[in-house]
Amino acid sequence: MSQALFTPTTLGKLQLQNRVVMAPLTRCRAIGNVPNELMEKYYSLRAEAGLIIAEGTSPSPNGLGYARMPGLFSDEQIQGWKRVTDRVHAAGGKIEQPPPSPSTCRRCGPACRLFMRPNVKLRGAPKARPSDRRERT
């Protein structure tokens, strides 16, 4: 039974060398939201998996859910992901980009939705004021 895990299979149009799938992981390594050499190395070292599902990636500047999340909305980011993909393919692996998930911002919470999006304008901020309650310790 365990040998079946290491046998080739087809998933849709993908021919996979085995049935091992690496789930997406949030790594926060994309400085400036651009895939880089560190990401190329990370994914290529895992190319023995039948299929790698890459980490969550934003399709627009307003979709960035957390710091150093890779994007896929600028030429520099597209080239970065191309280098990652080419390196995984050169190591014999397959890699897929998951579709953007609306749950990204739900997981990150309201702070991420406001502060990580460059085009969002904030309306004021909290103000310090004395409490009208008596504190008891």
What confidence score (pLDDT) does residue 61 get?
Answer: 86
Residue 2 is predicted with a pLDDT of 74
Do 25 and 38 meet the contact criterion of CB atoms below 8 Å apart? no
pLDDT score at 126:
63
Beta strands in the chain (DSSP E): 9-11, 14-16, 21-22, 51-53, 95-96
Question: Which CATH code fits 14-115?
Answer: 3.30.750
Domain ranges, ordered by start, for the chain: 14-115
Instruction: For the chain, list residues with pLDDT below 70.
Output: 1, 100-128, 135-137
- Within 13 A of 6's CA, how many CA atoms are on the CB side? 4
Q: Which residues fall within 8 angstroms of residue 124, CB to CB, at 6 or more apart?
A: none
What confidence score (pLDDT) does residue 98 get? 83
pLDDT attached to residue 137 = 60
Separation in Å, CA 109 to CA 12, 24, 69, 116, 127: 35, 20, 15, 11, 21
